[in-house]
Amino acid sequence: MVNEASDTAGESLAYKLERSTGSFFERVERLWQKKWFRLLVAFLGLCVLGWFLVWLIFARDLPDAAALQTYEPPLPTTVRAYDGEPVHSYARERRVQLEFSEYPALLVRAYLAAEDRTFFEHGGLDYPGIATAIVTNISSSGRPVGASTITQQVAKNLLLTSEVSYRRKVREAILAYRIEDVLTKEEILELYLNQIFLGRNAYGVQAAAQAYFGKDVDALALHEMAYLAILPKGPSNYRPEVHEQRAIGRRNWVLAAMRDNGWITASQFQAAAARPLGTIARSGPRFERVGGYFVEEVRRQLIEQFGENEDAGPYSVYSGGLWVRTSLNPELQEYTKDALRGGLLRYSSGRGWSGPISQIEMDDQWPRRLLSTFIGTDFSNWQIAVAIRPAGGGAEIGFSDGTTGRINSAPSALKAGDIIAVSPLGGSSYRLENVPEVSGGMVVQNPRNGRIWAMQGGFDDRMSSFNRATQAQRQPGSTIKPFVYATALEHGMTPATLIADSPFCVYQSASLGRKCFQNFGNARSAGEQTLRWGVEQSRNLMTVRAANDAGMDNVVKTIKTMGIGDYQPYLAFALGAGDTTVMNLTNAYSMLANHGRELNPTVIDFVQDRQGKVIFRADKRNCENCNLSDWDGQPMPRPRPVGKQLMDPMTAYQMVDILQGVITRGTAQNLRSLERPLFGKTGTSSGPTNVWFVGGSPDMVAGVYLGFDQPRNMGGYAQGGTLAAPIFRQFAERAMAGMPKTPFVAPKGVRMVRVDRRTGKRVYGGWPTDDPKSAVIWDVFKPETEPRRSLRKDDLLARLEARKAQLLAQRAAAESRALEAARNRGPARNDDEFLQAQGGIY
């Protein structure tokens, strides 16, 4: 029974479905017979197909408009000095990002008058404008025109390309609708005013205000606002240098539109329309030439860490909007630049013209070619020019702005196309200047924390970007010797150790053969001398003996540990045959002044992103409880010392004390006139091809070298003491003026002992004097290494004989006085008187 009922119910349901389906198709079939139904279906089909085609052709891969809510425009990286003052910026687009509230209302209205009067009324598209554009495009075969609203321009500039096509216009319109849904009108205007290109490499209105008027937006006058508002249509069409009248006409059109919209009064219109453009000459950032080599080193390190372009990440150098605090001291940088340039010019004076800076091809485009070399100079009143037509002992010259002049005296080697430096004499006459062929580098460092205060890598960074302070690998000569002797001090020697200054030869290998060393300038041997004297007088023979006794394996290990270089254990490296940089060697001397504690030379203190978050910090030490709101009753918290201990503090101080002798009575005596505690060492490499000085005070260490980029002989007279040390003196006279005369502080455990300066023997009777060449000096020893009293037999016998002779003489004198007294006073009355008459008991 149950099965039969189920079968009956199933048959009934199937019948109903069949009947229902049949009736549906019958109704559709009856409707299809009607014409209006077929037209309706065709229309709906076309709509669906059209929607699909629009999606497929225009909207399928459109970017998300919501991304604009978190959009961050490319911003330049700003570099600040040690005191927080901006000194440079890295940018391919000059832009300053402002909030909408920071733009004056009148400035906003000027842009609305010029670009989109109904901006606050429409929903993203200007339909009357679109209709006009369609008619124009149909009737014209030229470039398609549009009626882009500000919203559409934002869509094009931020989410699309600048492709000229109808497809891009349709995509732009779709995006405009979407943008209006996700952003407010004020947010859209903020994006627009910060992003729009306005010429002179200025992106955004604030950057343009600075580029054209040298003002911030809140200081612009009405006529200046109107001029900036005409630039989005085509900055090159309204360049003030070329199209001034066209720019004034368009500016006044914007002013009239503002008047017609009731945004300004008739009197404001008349006053503004009567004004000239008032733009300034095109110029770069106001701080663009501060610290050329230094800021280039900062840029190089930032690119290495964060990348260069947008695709490198959110912190890229040219678009990330980073704020970089550096250790640059602009004042010291200026002193460093002047001192190195002065030394280069002194060496080059009287040597004749060194040749052109560079060359270009000469044709009617020479001003553009000269400008595109980006060669410049900020030295004195020098200017960069190109020789156009040498003739009659002189030459016609030209400048990058197209102007010309003449030099009346030119060397015969000068050719057309040579880029040269000249200085004005008056009128159109100029004098040829000689850019030194010799070059060099200089670094100034804080020896307490490793921060680089100044850096100069050549004569002028716009003539040569090669940074010789960090990139040039040069032989340091005798400036390496302190680290050789420091190794000797670590292995048992003392400043008073006697070392033979005599011929020294060594068999190196079958291929290298026998090597015999000699003093600089073939100076004669001086016999046994103290280690201190050997450093002060920079004796090569004593240095190689000290290195040989301490072991060259140990010497090169010390040199590597101090960050100077990685050398093979050959004795020649003890005399500076290896290569290093000014930066590395200056840092090594700073570590000596820092009691042998590790320092890392840094030019960047910290980096912040555009929101102010610190994303890099050079000093990573933590200081517990340093930020307490109130004193907790405990000793003042201090961060732990920087770096590891790379050298025994007492060894480092011994070396610093010895190097003070180089200043007072050694190869750098010309620095004694600075009259302050200084240490340092001169250096001259074989040839001589390089001359050096590295040294300074407890508060400031500097290193400098001079040499040709392609090493060659500088002349027999060239020495570190005569060429490099005067550069340091010129710098220090200005940089150290007013600084406290801080002495070098000895570490715990050091023993100061009076010794004979020549022999190194301990002195008990005499005292050091202010004379730098005093016979008795204070010398520095580690515990239990200071000279003791001599116990040699011959010395002891000589002292006994001298004492015996002294006693005999005293006794004879006493007997003589006693006999004379007895004659005068008669016979003695008791034993006491007798004993006293005889001079006491012996």
pLDDT band per the 50, 70, 90 thresholds, residue 47: confident
Give residue 449's pLDDT.
93
Identify the CA nearest to 376 among candidates 472, 284, 239.
Answer: 284
Whether residue 618 is predicted with pLDDT greater than 80 in this model: the reply is yes
How many C-beta neighbours within 10 Å does residue 512 have? 11
Looking at per-residue pLDDT, the higher value among 184 and 160 belongs to 184
Residue 30 has pLDDT above 80, yes or no: no
Q: What is the identity of the amino acid at 106?
A: L
Map residue 557 onto helix, strand or coil: helix
Residue 431 pLDDT greater than 60, yes or no: yes
Say if residue 283's pLDDT is above 80: no
| Residue 281: count of CB within 10 angstroms of its CB | 7
d(CA 814, CA 720) in angstroms, rounded, equals 63
Catalytic residues: 115, 478
How far is the C-alpha of 594 from the C-alpha of 588, rounded, in Å? 10
Whose tokens are 């014209």? That residue is 140
Contacts of 689 (CB under 8 A, 6+ apart): 475, 707, 708, 711, 712, 713, 714
Instruction: Please give the average per-residue pLDDT across 699-713, as a whole number.
Output: 95
Nearest Cα to 470, choosing from 494, 446, 447, 445? 445
Q: Taking residues 821-835, what's their average pLDDT?
A: 53
pLDDT at 50 (0 to 100): 63
Instruction: Supply the pLDDT for residue 436.
Output: 94
Q: Looking at per-residue confidence, does 162 or 685 come out higher? A: 685
Mean pLDDT of all residues belonging to the chain:
85
Task: Tell me the per-residue pLDDT of 203-233, one tens digit each, with 9 for 90 and over.
Answer: 899 999 999 999 999 999 999 999 999 998 8
- Burial label for 446, CB within 10 Å (0-12, 13-18, 19+), is buried
Q: Which residue has the tokens 């004042």?
A: 331
Instruction: Please give the share of the chain, as a percent, with pLDDT higher than 90.
Output: 53
Residue range 784-825, pLDDT digits in tens: 998 876 545 566 677 678 778 888 888 888 777 777 766 665
Quote the pLDDT of residue 692. 96
Interval 501-536: pLDDT, tens: 999 888 877 777 788 888 877 778 889 999 999 999
DSSP state of 232: G
What pLDDT shows up at residue 174?
Answer: 67
582-593 vs 649-665: helix crossing angle, rounded to 10:
110
Place of tokens 């309706």: 40
Contacts of residue 166, defined as CB under 8 A and 6 or more positions apart, other chains included, come to 144
Q: Which two tokens stand for residue 507?
A: 């068999």
Q: Does the pLDDT of residue 25 top 80, yes or no?
A: no
Dihedral of CA atoms 418, 422, 425, 430 in degrees, nearest 10, equals: 0
Q: What is the pLDDT of residue 51?
A: 55
Question: What average pLDDT score do residues 282-288 get?
Answer: 54
Q: Note the pTM of the prediction, 2 decimals.
A: 0.80
Structure tokens at 619: 């000093």
Q: What is residue 696's predicted lDDT score, i.e. its pLDDT?
A: 97
Higher pLDDT: 365 or 155? It is 365
Spatial distance between the Cα atoms of 547 and 801, rounded to a whole number of angstroms = 41
For residues 625-633, give the mean pLDDT: 80
Sequence-distant (6+) residues with CB within 8 A of 397 are 385, 386, 387, 388, 404, 405, 406, 407, 420, 422, 430
What does the radius of gyration of the chain's CA atoms come to, in whole angstroms? 43
Within its chain, how far is the Cα of 626 from the centroid?
Answer: 30
Q: Tell me how far the alpha carbon of residue 11 is from its chain's centroid.
A: 92
Taking the CA of residue 307 as centre, how many other CA atoms within 13 Å lie in the half-sphere pointing to its CB?
Answer: 10
Please give the pLDDT value at position 838. 41
Say yes or no to pLDDT of 832 above 50: no
Cα separation of 202 and 250, whole Å?
Answer: 20
Query: pLDDT band for position 834 (50/70/90)?
Result: very low
Question: What is the rounded distance in angstroms from the CA atom of residue 84 to the CA atom of residue 417?
Answer: 43
Report, as an integer, the average pLDDT of 168-184.
Answer: 70
